[in-house]
Structure 1
Amino acid sequence: MRETRLWSLHLLVIPIIVVLLGLHFAVMHYAPVFYGISVEEARSFEVMIERGRSVAQFVLYILLLAAALYHGLYGLRGILRELPLTEALAKVVDVSIISLGLFIFAFGAYVTWWTFSFKFGG
């Protein structure tokens, strides 16, 4: 039953990733089209930080980070668990995947928070 729930969640995050990634592309890569600014201006540090201060962007990035990490790492876990592993080694794989996921999420959340709270000039 547990594996069924994990697999269902793995499938459920696919449309979530598609929607969030679509929003990311629209805001980050099509800003010149939607907002009438130049490509150079859209890529500038100041504009990037300004976008990063938006609560909507902050939420979008955290949700995208969580969904993509879960989907990718659960898939990797599935690949590794298909190998002929002992039960102890399978447990090591599970703990390693969870630890890696938590570390990457913490780092990504920190960078997102840093961007959200960045102040120019000190």
Structure 2
Amino acid sequence: YDSKQELYKQNVVSAFDLSTAKNSLLAAQAQLAQMKAQEVNARNNLSYTLVKSPADGVVGTLPYRVGTLVSASLPEPLTTVSDNSDMYVYFSMTENQLLGLIRRYGSKEEALKQMPEIGLQLND
């Protein structure tokens, strides 16, 4: 368009040629903007093809094969991830049991020190 504009100033091309060049430029700019919007849309759609876990861990069963069409309304999750970095196990004890241990060992802290080590076996 710039070269046509220079040629128009020198009376080498007509106003119609300049107008045609300007319209071609505007059409090309509109097409570029449309292609950029399609690229953004394609990148957005591509981001839905990657499944990321919010935590490190071990992946459970995978009920769906590669290429299966999935959606948010599936009856079962894509998979489960077990976070195996830290594990906390809770157990219950009656107040009488705790008081008996405190009487036997002198304090709660000493009673906890005297508890046997516990092993945990996971199903993997």
Indicate the TM-score class for this superposition, using the shorter chain for normalisation.
0.3 to 0.5
Greater Rg by CA: 2
Q: Please, what TM-score do these two structures have when normalized by structure 1?
A: 0.33
Larger relative contact order (Cα-Cα within 8 Å, sequence gap ≥ 6): 1
